[in-house]
Chain A
Amino acid sequence: GQQLNQSPQSMFIQEGEDVSMNCTSSSIFNTWLWYKQDPGEGPVLLIALYKAGELTSNGRLTAQFGITRKDSFLNISASIPSDVGIYFCAGQNYGGSQGNLIFGKGTKLSVKP
């Protein structure tokens, strides 16, 4: 089945630094989504990308849908302690019906104050 490779697995950064993480796939996706998950909670949608090449921002977050439709990256600028958590990319591909999400394994972000 389709798989997403998400990297890095974990990051330890200093408060104020910028962060970059990415996802790649051997398959094409129609939609890329980025989620953040805090311990014991559900994934929270951060950004949704619909078009190849699309660059979208949400506050300090910026994400891009790769031109080949097989990859996406997420940048966080000027990190703060509350950015700590696990970030998941998710790809969606569907035919005539609403499709399921395929998740990456996550990037665990730790921020040192």
Chain B
Amino acid sequence: EPEVTQTPSHQVTQMGQEVILRCVPISNHLYFYWYRQILGQKVEFLVSFYNNEISEKSEIFDDQFSVERPDGSNFTLKIRSTKLEDSAMYFCASSDLTDEQYFGPGTRLTVT
């Protein structure tokens, strides 16, 4: 069964450093998303991406965040200058023309 994959599974970085989180969405899906989940809390929407552009973003997704689909398979989330409060699980999700979003296993980002 097709699934969303994410790398790395765990990323440790120092405050102020740039990180890039990578995702490979399900191959025939058209819509891509990033969500985050701070430990013990609910999942929060960051950004959605369709047709090579951002279609929606939340207040969390400020100028420090960017997304890119550099080729036909990868979807990346970049945080330019990480802060301690960026520590969280980051989930990529994808969907086709339905509303059913399928999530990847997540990347645990730890900012020290």
What is A's interface to B at a CB cutoff of 8 Å?
A: 30-31, 33, 35, 40-45, 48, 50, 88, 90, 92, 97-106
Q: Roughly how many angstroms separate A48 CA and B96 CA in the complex, as a whole number? A: 14
Q: Roughly how many angstroms separate A41 CA and B45 CA in the complex, as a whole number? A: 17
Within 8 A of A (CB), among B35-84: 35, 41-45, 48, 50, 55-56, 58
B103 touches A106 (CB 8 A): no
- Measured CB to CB, the nearest residue on chain B to A42 is B103
B104 touches A42 (CB 8 A): yes
List the B side residues contacting A99 at CB < 8 Å: 48, 56, 99
List the B side residues contacting A33 at CB < 8 Å: 99-101
Q: Roughly how many angstroms separate A75 CA and B27 CA in the complex, as a whole number? A: 32
What is B's interface to A at a CB cutoff of 8 Å?
A: 4, 31, 33, 35, 41-45, 48, 50, 55-56, 58, 91, 95, 98-106, 108
B45 touches A100 (CB 8 A): yes
B48 touches A98 (CB 8 A): yes
Q: Roughly how many angstroms separate A99 CA and B95 CA in the complex, as a whole number? A: 11
A100 touches B48 (CB 8 A): yes
- Measured CB to CB, the nearest residue on chain B to A4 is B42
Q: Roughly how many angstroms separate A87 CA and B85 CA in the complex, as a whole number? A: 25
Q: Roughly how many angstroms separate A93 CA and B56 CA in the complex, as a whole number? A: 12
- Measured CB to CB, the nearest residue on chain A to B95 is A98
Q: Roughly how many angstroms separate A90 CA and B99 CA in the complex, as a whole number? A: 11
B99 touches A41 (CB 8 A): no
Q: Roughly how many angstroms separate A74 CA and B90 CA in the complex, as a whole number? A: 26
- Measured CB to CB, the nearest residue on chain A to B59 is A1
List the B side residues contacting A103 at CB < 8 Å: 42-44
B105 touches A41 (CB 8 A): yes
